[in-house]
Structure 1
Amino acid sequence: MKYVLVAINLPVKNLFRQFIYGLPDSMGQAGEGWRVVVPFGPQKVEGFIVRDFDREEALALLQKENPGFSIDKMKEVTAVLGTRPWFSEEMMGTAKWLAGYYMCSLAEAMRLFIPGKTSIRRKPVYQEGRLIAYEIEERLKARTVVAYTITEMGKAALAEGSRRAKAQMQALEVLLHATEPLDRKEAEAQHISGAVLQTLAEKGWALRTEKRLLRNSYDRQAERKETLQLTEEQAQAVAAIKASLDYFPAGKPAEEETDEPGAAVFGGDAGKQKTETTCEKTRPQEFLLQGITGSGKTEVYLRAADHALRQGKQVLVLVPEIALTAQIVQRFQAWFGQEVAVAHSKLSQNERGDVWYKMRTGEANVLIGVRSAVFAPFKNLGLVMVDEEQETSYKQEERPAYHAREVARYRCKNSGAVLVLGSATPSLESYFRAVSGRIGHLQLKRRPGSSFLPAVDVVDMREELAQKNYSVISRKLRRELIATVHADQQAIVLLNRRGYSTFVMCRDCGETLTCPHCAVSLVFHADEQAMRCHYCGNTYPIPETCPHCGSRRIKFFGSGTQKAEQEIGQMPGIQVLRMDQDSTATKMAHEEIIRRFSRKEANVLLGTQMVAKGHDIPDVTLVGILAADSTLNMPDFRASERGFSLLTQAAGRAGRGDKPGRVVLQTYDPENEIITLAARQDYETFAGHELAMRKELLYPPYGEILKVTVVDKEEKKAWELADEMARFLRSRYEAEHWERTEIMGPFPSGVAKVRDLYRINIVVKSQAMEQVKACLLASRYRTVKNVFFDVDPIMAI
């Protein structure tokens, strides 16, 4: 018997240890990277084998923690899942790095690589109506069908031939030349009946076997491949990426790994850390592809992917939202057909399992997906492209709060793959790394052909109010919408607020209706005729009287996408489609809405930020941006960056064909510098101003940020623990003299209560973040259940 160290796959945050189990000889093929079922307390759970060792090493480790422990009392692995390791060496290395960098347990990091985060389910077993036990069954189930292959006897029979069994001879001929087992559906397409296949099997001329069927929600006829003439800028970008693909051998680390200080194999999470190289030493392994909206970044992606595939490498394309997958999938399928697989959260667990199988076996070589696709297994990853790399949706909000762009960066370095980050408005961190020469910088400054950036009109909504226009739609935008549809063209309207009315207030006492479980206003949703909390999801009836003073003078304020849809839909000649979280709850809903809009079944597409980027529809000549300044007033250091990006991306949807585009940008603050720069799409000026501010205040990219959040049902307890942690961090800072570090807080979170839990934050800004992390991971706070670490948070409030 050998012994294995197992990370327990349970959705808990404080289980940092791994545990040793015996591995019976009957399961001796299992080792590092395998999934297993193990006894853990009173239950059986899934675990991941981290390493294996012999009896003497296992006993030494066990007795170190528990002197006198007898190895004969060792619990054993109950079952092995699958027929091969789930985790490759590269995947295991990525999980260990992720656990160290994002301050989570190794099991939490490893479960991200499993579709649905667990491979098993407990199935209750009843006898005479009483529960007697639970059986473990695999959740990831392959769909199979009966298939047939020719046997040696069949080959001999075919060689002899038979005039009386003509149909059987024809079937044997087809089976002889088949590259894989033939199922009944495939056989019928070759005019072979099921009865003939059955007869061949009975004679021993064909062998019945099982064949795996791979589910594919995107299996449809691909459009014709477009090979547009590249501009000089596009050609230069493609050439640079190709040169790096030729230089870096996929499947091999780009650099030597260095052990992270203090990493332990038993009882902790071993981590590997990479050192970053600059472009001057070799060809860059990472690029920022910065191109204005409509400059043809997808054309660069396609040709880079084509080059990688010709080298026998696999390609990963990350997109920030499901809404952006449809068009990019169509373009890639037109080029690469069945080589393309798609992964996102709307797929079932088994559908995602089939996608993972395709990439692991090489049945597909291009994977397009949202952030979770970064954890797919690859046979030979050679190129990763992150589209709209600045998007905050690449950051997972719940623990472990990883950023898909950073995971992609590590996987590329660990496997020798090339990374391309694409954006019209790159994150300031990526832009800084590019202009400082740490990564390659490729720029597309012009739109191809006769297409130009759209003209932008800024509308002062204060003047609209002065003219007694209380609508969310300005008079200017109303005229432009009507003129656009009259000219048989299309428009996109952005309003980054869901619902009908954004809050409800009593006009007598000023009381705002808030969620009883969260410290936020309830939003009125007209289609449900209910009030909904956008944090916990609970719904409540529309009140007839104020719950505070009993007044019936309740008024709905603000406008969301539902109200805007109603107003726009009443304009002459307009058919409007709405795309937001409420209208896209079902599977493939995003793709259906974009397909209908592209086919001109509607002439106005209205929605939240999911309509603002990625879509390339030639007949869209008008973009309306409502409440343009709503994202600029958040009390967060990234507010200006997010606002500038959203406005620039939305404006860039107009005029992408051969017709000139127009943008109507509505704001209550037309003098705001961010709005002025976004209207001009002047990213460089914006970045220069913002970077200067961040340098002074020690924000990224000049310092790293760690947000510590304490949650508790009792507000007093949350504050007490947060105060204690803040004092601890300040005492360690003074004792260890961390380089340029600021510890802020504690203070209430931006939303101070969610789902009846009070949230108190501490924010650390530092140029010595590894020391800060090491300090916390060595403290008791690492395993406190209601303390959460967010490394590189999107919002520091």
Structure 2
Amino acid sequence: MELVARIALNAATYAIDKPYDYLVPPQLADRLVPGMRVIIPFGPGNRRTEGLVLALEEAAPAGVALKPVLTILDEEPVLDGQALKLALWMRERWFCTVYDAARAMLPAGLYYALQDRWKLADGVDRETAYEAAGKSEHARRVVEVVVSQADGADVATLRAAFGDKDPNPALRLLRDKGVLTLETSAARGVGDKTQQVAVLAIPPEEALAQVVPRRRSAPMRCAVVELLCALGEAAAKEICYFTGASMPTLRSLEKSGILTLEKREVYRRVAVEGVEPAVRPILNQEQQAAFAGLDALASAGKAAVALLYGVTGSGKTQVYLNLIYEALARGKSALVLVPEIGLTPQVMRLFAAHFGEQVAVLHSALRAGERYDEWKRIRSGKARVVVGTRSAVFAPLKDLGLIVLDEEQEASYKSENVPKYHAREVAKFRCVQQGALLVLASATPSIETMYQARQGIYRLFTLTRRYNQRELPPVDIVDMKEELRQGSGGDLSRPLLAALEEGAVRGEQSILLLNRRGASRMVTCGECGEAPDCPRCSIHLTYHSANGRLMCHYCGHSQPLPDACPHCGGAFNFIGAGTQKVEEELREALPGREILRMDADAVSATHSHETLLGRFEAENIPVLLGTQMVAKGLDFPNVTLVGVISADQSLYADDYRAGERTFALLTQVVGRAGRGEKGGRAIIQTFTPDNEVIRKAARQDYDGFYAQELALRELRGCPPFRDLFIITASGRLEGAVLRTCMRLRRTLEGWLALPAYREIHAKLLGPAPAAVARINERYRYRLTLACANTRPVREMVAALLRAAQTDKENKGVSVSADVNPLD
């Protein structure tokens, strides 16, 4: 019997993605287990690629000889059985390859880079190689390049040497003659960090007896031993720091047999400063009732989903802190997801105060080494509470008992890259696997989540009042049309400016939200009306006053602002406002007051979210102006005023979720005010003050908004009543993309007419251009299939993708699919 590995390949596209069988050589059979990564040959040219072992089977020798596994990359499995099942489920759910799904679960520090190098085969010298090349000019050129490189030639070097010619025929010729061999090396992104530790090798009395008599001639040896006698062992670096000794001193003591130097792994940790241990939060009556119900679900040991719906400031965090205490007491672990990287430092400090070294943090702003080491701490069981953003949903926690999605309605929980998963759906699957509780928490739950809760599919727990019993802040709506009539043409209304000045005089703080970065939305010529466009995208460029450039927020294109219109020489007009322009207005209106801006342009490696928010709180800066990153999760007791600028700019977007997003954003940011003893207020500036979404957000009337929005969703056939499968074709030639879309539509129409699919009751729309039809020189057209998200529908869409990707008529056009995308 042969041992056969079923392997998911990195090199396989979605159209040919399946488990491939490979023979496990006897020398690898004892080490290889499912969940490890390997190097295997793939395709006619046996190109080396990475693979993930899904299963091992004993089988009789096949009629066709199987290719062998070449190398094992991991010392132990990087994914366990549950993670492999999750990867297979993600493939079926989000139309990705198994390897894509598995890769999303691993920290970047575990990724391998493979490099192929051509070398002379063993026993072959230069002369023999030239003889084998014969009269072939290309083969002789290959031999020259390979011989000139001490460790062989990589593919890039060979291609550079051949220019426009293809070196592969000559490489195959020399390989078949046994002259050249292909070797593949794998380099991991991040290695394990180690440090040297000094440990006493003999009893303390003996060690001191050897060094004390020579204290005067060898004072450093004596100092090192005395320190070690007190500590037993210590990092070599720390010993040198505290005693002034050097590494040669430690090595001489090792040579004398007094101590041993050992290499030990250490974890790169994220520093959390200024954390004082906290006691378990005390809950009020309403919170206690919600906690009791949720904890009963968590302790039942069965998978469950619950919605914790509470007004801003109602103390939802205190409820799930108590849930985590109970989960840990039962020997379970817990995972808390937040939507923004900017929230993780604040949340991390809170959780570190309660759970200390048991807490790990995972988000994309960590250095690769830190993220890798946090992942290892979690997998080893040293960390049992994980705080992180979307990708932390894959944290390798054992005995998972609780997952919390804070601000569960946020679009950032949906991945825009392959695999296009939603963290909420992945969390549900993991809870089913481990019999855990998923808590979805929000003051403005998504329409789909609230619908599930009110249908009884999820359990619903409600918090109706703020934790400190304070009222929600009163909200004033300012009509900006009236401001224009009164001669106020700026982006800041007179009531808002007056409130900002009053707050600053009293030593209080304000938060201003404008969900557009840059200075002006666009610039236009006052003479001919021309507006500078992005050369690679079908969108106008945004002006940034900080660098005097026009920038595209989709592809990153940047160009200087011309002095005059290049078409007619006219002067430019600046239309719309971004955070940079409003910052300038604030500095003029509030001279001598410090203004802090927080947007994607202000946040950097040196000015991180944590740094900026820390400054705002510690230095009592009067005004914090920012995009949506200032709208959620922030809790500053001295903030008494919240202002919203251009509240309606996202309301009229071509998206059925526009009303929901605007309502949630306004409700969340208004809730940042009045969280301390001083109380607070909010001012919303709008050109459409009678819009029901804005009025209901001002009243914090979620129930009224939900009823209104649900009726509209039912009329439009949108989630939660139907799911939307979006099939996107993209390519550089618009005509080719549109033709591909038309072929896909005809194929779907034919399939939907078949008896097997008549029960689907689908509505097919398109082709239609995407909201931004061209991004980075690629045109995008879409088909929309509105129906229930069932397995037959997913199988049909998967078959369509495979057919499209193997159809030669679609050359140059890529086809992908997504379910309920948020863009």
TM range (shorter): 0.7 to 0.9
Q: Is the 8 A contact 2:3 2:58 kept in 1?
A: yes
Identify which range, 734-743 or 680-689, moves more after superposition.
Answer: 734-743
Q: Identify which of 62, 69, 77 aligns with 2:69.
A: 77
The alignment status of 1:556 with 2:551, answered yes or no, reads: no
Q: Is the 8 A contact 1:183 1:211 kept in 2?
A: no
Alpha-carbon deviation of 1:43?
4.3
SS of 1:220's partner is coil
The alpha-carbon distance between structure 1 residues 386 and 764, as it changes in their structure 2 partners (threshold 3 A), is: same
- What amino acid sits opposite 2:96 in the alignment? C
- Tell me the equivalent position of 1:567: 585
- What amino acid sits opposite 1:440 in the alignment? R
| 5+ residue gaps, structure 1 | 64-68, 249-253, 255-283
Alpha-carbon deviation of 1:333?
1.1
SS of 1:778's partner is helix
Alpha-carbon deviation of 1:104?
1.3
* Deviation by residue 1:720-763 (Cα, 9 ceiling, x = unmatched): 11111112212222222133321111111100100111110111
- What amino acid sits opposite 1:184 in the alignment? A
SS of 2:418's partner is coil
- Tell me the equivalent position of 2:181: none
- Tell me the equivalent position of 1:599: 618
Once residues 691 and 738 of structure 2 are traced to their aligned partners in structure 1, the CA distance between those partners, rounded to angstroms, is 37
Q: Is the 8 A contact 1:222 1:337 kept in 2?
A: no
- What amino acid sits opposite 1:630 in the alignment? Q
* Deviation by residue 1:572-611 (Cα, 9 ceiling, x = unmatched): 3421111111111326611101100111352111011010
- What amino acid sits opposite 1:183 in the alignment? A
- Tell me the equivalent position of 2:393: 374
- Tell me the equivalent position of 1:609: 628
Alpha-carbon deviation of 1:46?
2.3
Once residues 750 and 368 of structure 2 are traced to their aligned partners in structure 1, the CA distance between those partners, rounded to angstroms, is 47
- What amino acid sits opposite 1:350 in the alignment? G
Q: Identify which of 228, 234, 251 aligns with 2:287.
A: 234
Once residues 556 and 441 of structure 2 are traced to their aligned partners in structure 1, the CA distance between those partners, rounded to angstroms, is 34
- Tell me the equivalent position of 1:516: 535
- Tell me the equivalent position of 1:90: 82
- What amino acid sits opposite 1:357 in the alignment? K
The aligned runs of 1:585-664 (5 Å cut-off) are 585-586=604-605, 589-664=608-683
The alpha-carbon distance between structure 1 residues 382 and 768, as it changes in their structure 2 partners (threshold 3 A), is: closer
The alpha-carbon distance between structure 1 residues 370 and 309, as it changes in their structure 2 partners (threshold 3 A), is: same
Q: Identify which of 298, 301, 317 aligns with 1:245.
A: 298
- Tell me the equivalent position of 1:754: 775
The alignment status of 1:738 with 2:759, answered yes or no, reads: yes
The alpha-carbon distance between structure 1 residues 173 and 220, as it changes in their structure 2 partners (threshold 3 A), is: same
Q: Identify which of 53, 58, 74 aligns with 1:54.
A: 58
- Tell me the equivalent position of 2:818: 790
Identify which range, 729-738 or 9-18, moves more after superposition.
Answer: 9-18
Tell me how large the CA RMSD over aligned residues is: 2.5
The alignment status of 1:184 with 2:236, answered yes or no, reads: yes
Q: How many equivalent residue pairs?
A: 740
- What amino acid sits opposite 1:622 in the alignment? L
The aligned runs of 1:494-533 (5 Å cut-off) are 494-533=513-552
- Tell me the equivalent position of 1:399: 418
Alpha-carbon deviation of 1:79?
2.2
The alpha-carbon distance between structure 1 residues 343 and 768, as it changes in their structure 2 partners (threshold 3 A), is: closer
The aligned runs of 1:47-196 (5 Å cut-off) are 47-56=51-60, 59-60=61-62, 69-71=64-66, 74=67, 76-116=68-108, 119-122=111-114, 132-133=153-154, 135-149=185-199, 154=202, 157=203, 163-165=209-211, 182-185=234-237
- Tell me the equivalent position of 2:785: 764
Alpha-carbon deviation of 1:200?
5.6
Greater Rg, structure 1 or structure 2?
A: 2
Q: Is the 8 A contact 1:531 1:542 kept in 2?
A: yes
The alignment status of 1:781 with 2:796, answered yes or no, reads: no
The alpha-carbon distance between structure 1 residues 204 and 88, as it changes in their structure 2 partners (threshold 3 A), is: farther
SS of 2:393's partner is helix
The alpha-carbon distance between structure 1 residues 737 and 355, as it changes in their structure 2 partners (threshold 3 A), is: same
SS of 2:649's partner is coil
Once residues 123 and 566 of structure 1 are traced to their aligned partners in structure 2, the CA distance between those partners, rounded to angstroms, is 51
SS of 1:37's partner is strand
- Tell me the equivalent position of 1:210: 263
- Tell me the equivalent position of 2:32: 30
- What amino acid sits opposite 2:73 in the alignment? L
Alpha-carbon deviation of 1:183?
2.1
Alpha-carbon deviation of 1:206?
4.6
Once residues 688 and 101 of structure 2 are traced to their aligned partners in structure 1, the CA distance between those partners, rounded to angstroms, is 44
Once residues 668 and 386 of structure 1 are traced to their aligned partners in structure 2, the CA distance between those partners, rounded to angstroms, is 34
- Tell me the equivalent position of 1:275: none
SS of 1:209's partner is strand
- What amino acid sits opposite 2:7 in the alignment? V
Identify which range, 204-213 or 479-488, moves more after superposition.
Answer: 204-213
Alpha-carbon deviation of 1:356?
0.7
Alpha-carbon deviation of 1:775?
1.2
Alpha-carbon deviation of 1:296?
1.1
Q: Is the 8 A contact 2:14 2:95 kept in 1?
A: no
- What amino acid sits opposite 2:821 in the alignment? P
* Deviation by residue 1:654-674 (Cα, 9 ceiling, x = unmatched): 000111211110001111000
Q: TM-score, normalised by structure 2?
A: 0.85
Identify which range, 614-623 or 412-421, moves more after superposition.
Answer: 412-421
SS of 2:641's partner is strand
Alpha-carbon deviation of 1:12?
5.2
SS of 1:748's partner is strand
Alpha-carbon deviation of 1:350?
2.1
Q: Is the 8 A contact 1:38 1:44 kept in 2?
A: yes
Once residues 512 and 636 of structure 2 are traced to their aligned partners in structure 1, the CA distance between those partners, rounded to angstroms, is 14
* Deviation by residue 1:516-542 (Cα, 9 ceiling, x = unmatched): 110111001111211100000110121
Higher RCO structure (Cα 8 Å, ≥6 apart): 1
Once residues 194 and 663 of structure 2 are traced to their aligned partners in structure 1, the CA distance between those partners, rounded to angstroms, is 50
The alpha-carbon distance between structure 1 residues 198 and 236, as it changes in their structure 2 partners (threshold 3 A), is: farther
Q: Is the 8 A contact 1:218 1:342 kept in 2?
A: no
SS of 2:18's partner is coil
Identify which range, 672-681 or 207-216, moves more after superposition.
Answer: 207-216
Once residues 617 and 208 of structure 1 are traced to their aligned partners in structure 2, the CA distance between those partners, rounded to angstroms, is 49
The alpha-carbon distance between structure 1 residues 535 and 117, as it changes in their structure 2 partners (threshold 3 A), is: farther
Q: Is the 8 A contact 1:580 1:608 kept in 2?
A: yes
Alpha-carbon deviation of 1:715?
0.7
Alpha-carbon deviation of 1:448?
1.9
Alpha-carbon deviation of 1:312?
2.3
SS of 1:744's partner is strand
Once residues 450 and 199 of structure 2 are traced to their aligned partners in structure 1, the CA distance between those partners, rounded to angstroms, is 56
- Tell me the equivalent position of 1:259: none
Once residues 91 and 242 of structure 2 are traced to their aligned partners in structure 1, the CA distance between those partners, rounded to angstroms, is 52
The aligned runs of 1:300-699 (5 Å cut-off) are 300-547=319-566, 549-570=567-588, 571-586=590-605, 589-699=608-718
Once residues 244 and 297 of structure 2 are traced to their aligned partners in structure 1, the CA distance between those partners, rounded to angstroms, is 49
Alpha-carbon deviation of 1:443?
1.2
The alpha-carbon distance between structure 1 residues 191 and 222, as it changes in their structure 2 partners (threshold 3 A), is: farther
The alpha-carbon distance between structure 1 residues 199 and 360, as it changes in their structure 2 partners (threshold 3 A), is: same
Identify which range, 767-776 or 740-749, moves more after superposition.
Answer: 767-776
Once residues 704 and 523 of structure 1 are traced to their aligned partners in structure 2, the CA distance between those partners, rounded to angstroms, is 34
Q: Is the 8 A contact 2:109 2:191 kept in 1?
A: no
| 5+ residue gaps, structure 2 | 118-145, 155-183, 213-221, 807-812
SS of 1:390's partner is coil
Alpha-carbon deviation of 1:188?
6.4
Higher helix share: 2
Once residues 505 and 127 of structure 1 are traced to their aligned partners in structure 2, the CA distance between those partners, rounded to angstroms, is 61
